[in-house]
Amino acid sequence: MLYIIGLGLGDEKDITLRGLEAVHKCHKLYIEAYTSLLSFGISSHGLSHLEKLYGKPVIVADREMVEEKVDGLLSEARDSDVAFLVVGDPFGATTHSDLVVRAKQMGVDVKVVHNASVMNAVGVCGLQLYRYGETVSIPFFTDTWRPDSFYDKIKKNCELGLHTLCLLDIKVKEPSLESLCRGKKEYEPPRFMSIKTAIEQLLEVEQKLGKSAYTEDTMCVGFARLGSEDQVIVAGTMRQLLTVDFGGPLHCLTIVSETHHVEEEMLGFFSVKE
C-alpha cells in the first residue's frame, strides 16, 4: 500500500491520529520537500522531530526524485506499506495527483489521509472560502523571464467579485542555469518568496499591462507561517503591506475583492498598524 499522508501546516504535532497510525505501520517513510515545508524546514535537526515521533527514519524526496525517479518508490509500495508525507493536504499540489495516477497504473493500492492546507487555513482572516476564485502562483522573476499569466486570472476573479489566493514561489534544491549548461548539476541555496517581493512583481505586471486588475490601493491580506504558533496575518493595501515585516517563510497573499460586513469586521482585527 502507498499511503499519501497530509502533515498539516505547523510542525510534527499537526499530523492526524489516522495519519500517525498509518505512519507507524509503514515500512518506509518519504517526505516531499519542494512544494511546501513545515515550520522547522528539512534540515537534519528538523527531520529529527518527525523521526522521534514516528520512531523510524524519514527520507527526503526532492522534486527530481518525485517527478523523475518515483517508480522505485512505487515498486517498494507493491511489496510493503510505504508512506509519502506531504505538508498540508495531499492534493494541495498537482504533483501528488500525478503520483496517484502513476501508482494506479503500476497496480499499487493507494490510501490518502487528509489534513489542513493553506487552501482552507486562509479562512482565519475572515474572508469566506466560498468567495474565492481561481488560485494563482507567483513565480520568482529573473532578468530574462518575467511571466504574467497569473494577471488575467486575478482580473477575472476581481470582475466576478471574488478574492484571489496567491501562492508564492519557493526554490528548494534548484539546479543553477550555469551548472546545467556545464552538464553538472550544482544546486542554488533555498529561496522563499516574501510578500514584499510578490507585491513588487504584481505591481510591475500591472504597470506593464495596465488593465486595472489592482492598484497600490487594493486591499490584501498577507499571511506568514500560516498554521504555526508564530503565524502573522496583516490586512492592508498593497502599498501598506510593502512596509510590513512578516518575518521568515512561508508567505502567501490574498488579493481582496468585494466584501460584506462580516468579512470587513473580521479583517478589521488584522488591519495594519499605522
Binding-site residues for S-adenosyl-L-methionine, please?
9, 89, 92, 117-118, 168, 226, 251
157-191 as b/e: b if 16+ CB within 10 A: bbeeebbbbbbbebebbbeeeeeeeeeeeeeeebe
Choose among 201, 139, 128, 138: nearest CA to 162: 128
Annotated binding site: 9, 89, 92, 117-118, 168, 226, 251
User: What backbone phi and psi angles, to 5 degrees, belong to 133?
Assistant: -100, -150
* CB atoms inside a 10 Å sphere around CB 73: 21
CA 97 to each of CA 23, 102, 112: distance values in angstroms, whole numbers, following the listed order:
20, 9, 11
Peptide bond into 29 cis (omega under 30): no
